Amino acid sequence: MDDLKTDYNNPFFTRGCKTVPNPGEGVADTCSVGCCKMGAQNWMEAIPQPSATESLDEVVEVRFKNSKKDFYRPPPDINLSSGDIVAVESSPGHDIGIITLTGATAMRQFRNARQSNGIDSLKKVYRRARSTDIEKWLQAVGREFDTLVKTRQISRSLNLNMKINDIEYQGDGTKAVFYYTADERVDFRELIKVLAEEFRVRIEMKQIGIRQEASRMGGIGSCGRELCCSTWLSRFRTVSTSAARAQQLSLNPQKLAGQCGKLKCCLNYEYDSYTDALKAFPPPDINLRTRKGQAICQKVDVYKGLMWYAYLESPNNFMAIPKESVHEIISMNKADKLPDDLETYALTDAPKADFGMTVSHDDLHRFDK
């Protein structure tokens, strides 16, 4: 137990435990979901549920290491709750996990994740973990750090172009999942033979992407907080440069890329609100015609309702015009009417525009991959 704390400080933090579980406890208070990596909140716990023909106790959500979660069928004679350590069906043997969601919340999550598969296809929860189960679990987790170090040494000795990121032992210690990243196809058949002889367990190799690698390693983002992918974000949505364009951000790779080298996931957080707000704006590709000359749109300040224009003859002279005035000028142009100039509509006390930096087409292509 002391070696566990020395190597990891708390190796069970990634499994949802505040401290190392006590083998003498079948249900550990240390396994509650507060302040733990990838913790889940049962937001429907205090909401009374209407009576229904479908039982809300047919599905529970069980978490394992990092963001690995799955749904299981609990036994009918055991009342499970969040934080319970349970033994679940696996192939082969059994695995040890922690209940994160039960009741209506787990059922809603199951419907959202498994729209076509039924409850009958789920694996079973065998029982609450016994003291012997937890002892084997502690021993298996205690092997992960040394196994990771030795595996990296073995892969380098075999000259494999791959990086071993993480290792997860099954709760009964009979199987280990090796997570790795690689830029190209890797023939690791010889590696599996060596690992099986070295560690005497069933080996499973699982390739992950660089975003998943960043979520497992963790870190601090440019916002000063821990990475979303390593604390609460369990599903990766595609992030494209259109999200940055809609938010009028300068396409600067150094500012828009996260620690994984891809576009930051947080660009999606406010994307919907920006697209809704942009519906009230006229298209920025329409030039405004005045007697003084034509003007093109240089920038849009979405939440201030301003559009920055400049004459073609003097492109460095920016003017902030409210979107309502822009609509008015476009309507006049459609009726073949020309205002005298744009200075009449421009705001004199508008903040100075920041047009940021440009980005090459190669960088945009790399981001959109």
Q: Which domain holds residue 73?
A: 2-41+56-130
73, part of any domain? yes
Q: What is the CATH number of the domain that holds 200?
A: 3.30.300.20
Query: Does residue 335 register a pLDDT over 90?
Result: yes
Those residues whose C-beta lies under 8 Å from the C-beta of residue 317, and which sit 6 or more positions away, are 310, 311
pLDDT digits (tens, 9 = 90+) for 124-143: 999 998 889 989 999 999 99
237, part of any domain? no
- Per-residue pLDDT at 7: 40
Do 105 and 161 lie in a common domain? Answer: no
Query: Does residue 279 register a pLDDT over 70?
Result: yes
Q: Rounded CA gap, 160 and 263, in Å?
A: 28
Do 87 and 35 lie in a common domain? Answer: yes
118, part of any domain? yes
Do 82 and 60 lie in a common domain? Answer: yes
Query: Does residue 206 register a pLDDT over 60?
Result: yes
- Per-residue pLDDT at 357: 40
51, part of any domain? no
Band of the pLDDT at 254, cuts 50, 70, 90?
A: confident
137, part of any domain? no
- Per-residue pLDDT at 168: 93
Do 98 and 15 lie in a common domain? Answer: yes
First to last CA, the chain: 44
- Per-residue pLDDT at 253: 80
Query: Does residue 368 register a pLDDT over 70?
Result: no
CB atoms within 10 A of CB 280: 11
Span of 144-148, 208-212, 271-275 with lowest mean pLDDT: 208-212
Share of the chain above pLDDT 70, in %: 82
Do 157 and 68 lie in a common domain? Answer: no
Alpha helices in 232-360 (DSSP H): 241-246, 253-256, 271-278, 323-334
Do 198 and 85 lie in a common domain? Answer: no
- Among the candidates 153, 184, 210, a domain finishes at 210
pLDDT digits (tens, 9 = 90+) for 21-75: 877 654 445 555 555 666 666 666 667 665 554 555 688 989 888 878 889 999 8
Cβ 77 vs Cβ 123: under 8 Å: no
Domain count, the chain: 2
Query: Does residue 16 register a pLDDT over 80?
Result: no
59 three-state secondary structure: coil
* Averaged pLDDT, 285-296: 92
- Per-residue pLDDT at 40: 67
Looking at every residue in the chain, the average pLDDT score rounds to: 82
pLDDT digits (tens, 9 = 90+) for 77-98: 888 888 888 999 998 889 999 8
Q: Rounded CA gap, 101 and 111, in Å?
A: 13
Do 96 and 20 lie in a common domain? Answer: yes
- Among the candidates 100, 130, 160, a domain finishes at 130
Do 160 and 203 lie in a common domain? Answer: yes
Band of the pLDDT at 353, cuts 50, 70, 90?
A: low
- Per-residue pLDDT at 211: 87
365, part of any domain? no
pLDDT digits (tens, 9 = 90+) for 150-198: 999 999 999 999 999 999 999 999 999 999 999 888 888 999 999 999 9
Do 110 and 159 lie in a common domain? Answer: no
50, part of any domain? no
Give 77: exposed, middle or buried? Use CB within 10 Å, 0-12, 13-18, 19+: exposed
Band of the pLDDT at 278, cuts 50, 70, 90?
A: very high
Do 192 and 168 lie in a common domain? Answer: yes
Do 22 and 89 lie in a common domain? Answer: yes
177, part of any domain? yes
Do 185 and 93 lie in a common domain? Answer: no
Q: Rounded CA gap, 20 and 191, in Å?
A: 32
